[in-house]
Amino acid sequence: MTFAGSILYLGYLLWIKLCGRFINQRMRYGALLIVLLVHLIPLAGLKDFYDSIFTHVPYLGMAERTWSPVSMAEIDTATEAYFTSNYAVSLIMAFTWVLVGILILINKCISYFQLRKKLWKLCRKCDSERVIGIIERLRKEFHVRQKVNVVQIRGDRNTFTIGVFKPLIILQETCPDPDLELILRHEMIHIARKDLVFKFLLEVLRCLYWFNPFTYFLSNNFEKVCEASCDEIAVRKLTKEECATYAKIVVKNTKRSSVTSLGKALADDRRNVEERIKVIMNKRKIKCWERLVAVGVFVVFMMVDSLAALAYPNVYQVNNAEVNTAEKAIVGENTWMTVEVSETDENLPEFDVVYEKEFVSLDGDIAEVSDYAPIKFCFKHKWEDGYFQTHLRNDSGGCTTDVYKGQRCTRCNTINLGGLYATHIYTTCPH
């Protein structure tokens, strides 16, 4: 998930370079929201979809594609239960990763509630009829259904909003009356867009992916674009003079707030303020075709990024009480195969060893199975039943042949391997 999100974030940066003049701040904010959600939503469901597509595409690889070392398996049979070694290591790593993330999240929550407690000591209920009237009017304008409370904080501090589910605007006590409308409009836009919810998810993201530096780059960029896009909406219907007034308010709030990013509003550093002023004073309407081009390019980046679903490992869960054991070393330490050996030695198939690996059809036709499969184009497999046989020589001059039930596609030579059917051991190799 973090791999997919990081790749899409790099795609976002490339998108800005390629289509910068076709993109406004709201489009940037929407794209970053998608990047944020990609970090949090698993794409595992797309893996089967892409696998089904690629089965109809020319491929270069092992002919016995379904017979390969299984690195991720959880096996539970009648007599034993175990994880393959790679899967066990992955589970340990996952446990460590989640544990550290939870500890970071707990630390952030403690810091947030301590700060909230300190803020309450400096706040008093706002009983200004003008402020209440502006809030109610803005609620209707931005279709905000939930109740929005306002308190005033002592001293010359920045106005900001806290509370993910119950938003609370903390208004600076010394706020000039002419600035009230613009300042409260900015905060109400944050509430209407659910920005505090997304910022909360961003904090969760930083806890989950504490090891990924791209997460911190995303967080910083998200904060900047969130404020700039909010400014863009706030000044959309303002005159030039009102935009200049709004820009002055932003300049007056350049000092960095001590409030956590969950409640950070107009405060930002000087460099970001310069960029925000450009957005405020240079309003440009994006043409329809420009918007379509920009959106189309980003959609292409999203489609390419979704291929990261193929990075998910195949985790096999075997739960079969009818099977007594599961072979751990057919091809490698991490390979399992259900054993289905006949109870008697009579009528066990034994075929001529023509190739070291071969497939024998029920009609007796023998075909070589090579580790190298030429490029084949197969829209639909055409299966024939038979047996897959391997021949392995040992240092003492003997050999072992293993016979598996299986199927072979007569069009692309793909082998679909079944259970082990018979094993023949020879002290001296007769083949």
Kindly report, residue by residue over 212-250, the tens digit of the pLDDT: 999 999 999 998 999 889 989 888 888 888 888 888 888
Per-residue pLDDT band for 353 (boundaries 50, 70, 90) equals confident
Q: What is the 3-state secondary structure (H, E, C) of 168-202?
A: EEEEECCCCHHHHHHHHHHHHHHHHCCHHHHHHHH
Domain coordinates in residue numbering, the chain:
2-57+73-308, 340-426
One-letter amino acid at 299 equals V
pLDDT at 56 over 90: no
Per-residue pLDDT band for 190 (boundaries 50, 70, 90) equals very high
Query: In the prediction, which pLDDT does 103 show?
Result: 94
pLDDT at 260 over 50: no
Query: In the prediction, which pLDDT does 52 show?
Result: 67
CA 340 to chain centre: 40
pLDDT digits (tens, 9 = 90+) for 270-283: 677 778 888 888 87
Per-residue pLDDT band for 71 (boundaries 50, 70, 90) equals low
Per-residue pLDDT band for 419 (boundaries 50, 70, 90) equals confident
| Average pLDDT, integer, range 73-95 | 72
pTM reported for the whole predicted model: 0.68
What b/e sequence results for 385-413 when a residue is b if at least 16 CB atoms lie within 10 Å of its CB, and e otherwise? ebbbbbbeeeeeeebebbbbbbbbbeebb
Per-residue pLDDT band for 335 (boundaries 50, 70, 90) equals very low
Query: In the prediction, which pLDDT does 100 show?
Result: 94
Distances (CA, A) of 183 to 252, 270, 390: 12, 19, 77
